[in-house]
Every structure is written in structure tokens, then in C-alpha cells.
Amino acid sequence: MKINKKFWLLVTLAVIAAVCGGYYGWHTTHFAKNTVVQGVNIGKLSYKNADSKISSELKEPEFTLKDPQTKEIIYQGKLKIAASHAYRDELKNLLHQRQTHPFSTKPEAAKKASIYDKKAAVDNLNSQKAQITQAIAQANQKRTAPQNAQITLANGQATFKKAVSGNQIDPTATINNLAKQLDPNNEPKQNVSIILKKPTWYGEDEYQKITKILKQNFKYTVMGKTETTPVKNVLTEGTINESGSNLNMNPSYNYIRNLNQKYSLSGSQKTDFTTAQGQNVSFDNSQGTLGWKIQEYNEGRYLQGQLLAGKLTIPAKNIDNSDQKFDKSDLDAIKNQNHIEVDLTNEQLYLVENNKVVQTAPVNTGSPKVNIATPTGYYYIKWRKAPMTMRGTEKDGTKYSSYVPQAMDLTDDGIFIHSAPWVSKTILGNPSARYDHGSNGCINVAPADMEKLFDRSHQGMPVIVYGDGLAS
């Protein structure tokens, strides 16, 4: 009897051990209830069965372009890319934890494995660009495009139409945003918001600027003459937008045309003149440069551009002095202006203000020895500089470089009125010394005289050169 009890006890213990061992073995080889990997419930499955289930249930990642305001779906697509088996490392890790805590009823948290290649996803998305763009274009047909701002000028006054946002979709920005956010490893069905088009020009700063400009006057200077004019007389009508200005050019052209009629000079190459001393002289004007006119088309556009840029002091830029001739009526007007007269016969310079000689200076002009006598004619001071270094060629062909305190240019080929510290007093004002000791065509002035002359002259001032520069 004792033997039988002992036997059944052993049998019972063996059964219990077998059951416990089986129970333990099952739990260490199967995942806990409700364990989820890659979005698939693998609870109570073995490693092999879990792997098979996850692999069979993996689907192509999907993405949806959606308008978050209207909830309208613009495009739905799939990424045709293969998944890797990177999740298997997570399965092994979960089983290892299961073996440590075999009887835990709480599933371990699974980490998300990167089973899709991000670059492959973007590449596949790029292959769908045309389809996405077409879908956006179709959706945009029912949507409103944004409108840029526009400034309108009428009668010299500016009005402003503000930029308006629409609800059309920006295809480039939307696709770029999709490529940036797309990550099928985080969400197999991913929603990405569209990006709306924005106005590309708001124009508010430009409107403030043009409004301020239109209230002001500008000063326009040509050949020593200055005209002060309201900006609104030139910038009268048209539009300003993102692409620039489209204003009526006629007021600008007319403005320049009126200045030409008021100031420009033209006429004959031979001229008569009554000097400030009352002497009547006649001389050749074929090389003179005082005859000029403003190029209406180029200058009109230049003027308008300067005003739009906010420039209110504008020197003339496009001046044509190819017509170097005068009418008799113009000569009378010139004589009434402040000007400079140069008498080659007597080698004298006169500064005339208000029809009176206010400065007389002896000069040394071009030597006829090598046929560079200073040419007669009506000129104007093209530009002034103090100091400057003058460079040229001597009578014997050698190059020279001379520093001068002040210089005023009369021609494009280098005829100047300038200070000449190297010329002695015996040569200045001495016609008989000009042949052997004359200049290279310039009008040399003693430094003290030139300093006074420079201070009282200006760009655009007429210069009349007459007399006999060949006499000695």
C-alpha cells in the first residue's frame, strides 16, 4: 500500500512537472497576448508564425494630399517600394524579454523598425510628380488664384490695390513638402497637407515710396541750367507691379522736348560775335562743342527711372553735341549768360558776368609749330576736376604727365582750360612766344588766376574762343 501511494505521488509530480515545463516552454517561444509589431498583432504566435504573418500583411505605404480646411482629398498614392525584414531583430528582442519574464501577461512594447528605405520612397514619389501636378492643376481649376498688389498712377496720384490670397495649390511647394515629410516607416498611411500659393509681390513699401515721391519736386540740371519741377508732372499715369513700372512716357518726353526748345543750340558753322569789349569778331566754329540737345527718348526714360528710384537731384545724362552750330538769335542769348571769352590774338582770357568783365587773365594757348593751335569756336565746360594729372604727347613725340591743381574740359579730344605752374610770366599773354613755347592746344592759365576762375565757373558754362591762334 505504501508503495502504491509513493508511485502515484511520483506520477503526479511528473505530470505537474511536464505541464509546468510545457507551459514554460510555450511561453518562452510564443509572444505575449496583444503583442503588436509593425502594426500587426502577433500575440500567442511563435517566431516563425509571427514572421510569416507580418510579412504577409505588409502593404505598400500610402500617402494622401489633403486640404486641411476643406478636407478635400487632392491626390492619393502608393509607394511601390519593397520592405526589408529589419523587424526580425525586434522579434528576437521581444522573445528574449519573454524568456526573462515568461509568465508576464503584459506585452512588451515593440520598437518601430525602419523597413522602408527613405531614398527609395522619395525616388518613387518623384516618378509620380507628373500625376500629382496634374491632379493639383485639375483641383486649381475650381480654386481662386492669389492676386499680386498693383499701384496705379492717375493724374499724378497713386492708388493701391492690395495683394489678395487665393486658395489655389502651389504644386512645387506641395510636392517638396510631401518629399520632406514622407516617411513610410512612421505611418503606412500618411496624410500630408497641401501648401497654397501666395502672392509674389505685396508692394506696400513701393506704394509708400512712390506716394512720398509724388509729393515732392525734383531738380533737373542741364548745361548749368536747373529746372525745379513737381514729380507728379512727369510721373502722371500708368501702373507699377511685380514686373516693374509701365508708365506713360509722353510726359517725360514732353518735359525733355520743352527743355530742348528752351535751352538747346543749333545754327551755322561760321559765326559773328561781339565781345565783352565791344569788338566784332568772325571765326570758324567747326570744332566747337557748345551746340547741344538732349536726346528726348533716352533721356526721357532715364529721367523717369531716376524719379522712380527716388532721386530728386538729376543731372542730364544723354546729351548730343554732334550738332555744333548756332543761330544768330542763340548767340545773343549766349552773350547774356555768364561766360568765358578767350582772345587768341592777344592771348587773353575774360570772365564775363552780367555782361561785365570781372576777371582778366593772360594765357598761353596752342603752338602752331606742330599744327595744334587752339581751335576757335563756341564751347562749354564739359566737366571740371581739381586736382588732376594730365597725360599726353609732346611735340617731339615723348609722353608727358603733368599735375595741375584745377582743370576744365572743353572737348572730348583733350582741350582744357587749366592751371599751368610751369609756364613763366613772360610767356603768358605773349602771342610772340606762342609759336615756340605754346601748349598742346590747351589754354594755360597762371595758378593764382586759375584758382579764381575755377571758383567762379561751373559745368555747362559757355566758353567762346576767337581770334588768330596762328599769329606769332
Tens-place pLDDT, residues 25-67? 676 788 888 888 878 888 888 888 878 888 888 888 888 999 9
Q: What is the pLDDT of residues 154-194, one digit of tens each?
A: 999 999 999 999 999 999 999 999 888 888 877 778 889 99
Q: What is the pLDDT of residues 69-128, one digit of tens each?
A: 999 999 998 888 888 888 788 888 878 887 777 666 677 677 777 787 888 888 888 899
Express as a percent the part of the chain with pLDDT over 70. Answer: 86
> Residue 67 and residue 65: Cα distance in Å, rounded?
7
Q: Which has more confidence, 282 or 72?
A: 72
The answer on pLDDT for 14 being more than 60 is: yes
The answer on pLDDT for 147 being more than 70 is: yes
The per-residue pLDDT for 239 is 96
The answer on pLDDT for 238 being more than 80 is: yes
The per-residue pLDDT for 15 is 61
Closest CA to 49 of 61, 59, 62, 37: 37
The per-residue pLDDT for 251 is 95
Closest CA to 42 of 115, 107, 98, 116: 107
Residue carrying the nine cell digits 487632392 = 74
CB 249 within 8 Å of CB 340: no
The per-residue pLDDT for 3 is 60
The count of other CB atoms within 10 Å of the CB of residue 207 is: 19
- Beta-bridged to residue 303, according to DSSP, are none
Express as a percent the part of the chain with pLDDT over 90. Answer: 45
CB 381 within 8 Å of CB 449: no
Closest CA to 449 of 347, 359, 344, 327: 359
Instruction: Name the grid cell of 189.
Output: 498611411
What residue type is assigned to position 367 of the chain? S
Quote the pTM value.
0.58
> Residue 333 and residue 223: Cα distance in Å, rounded?
14
When pLDDT is cut at 50, 70 and 90, the band that residue 397 belongs to is low
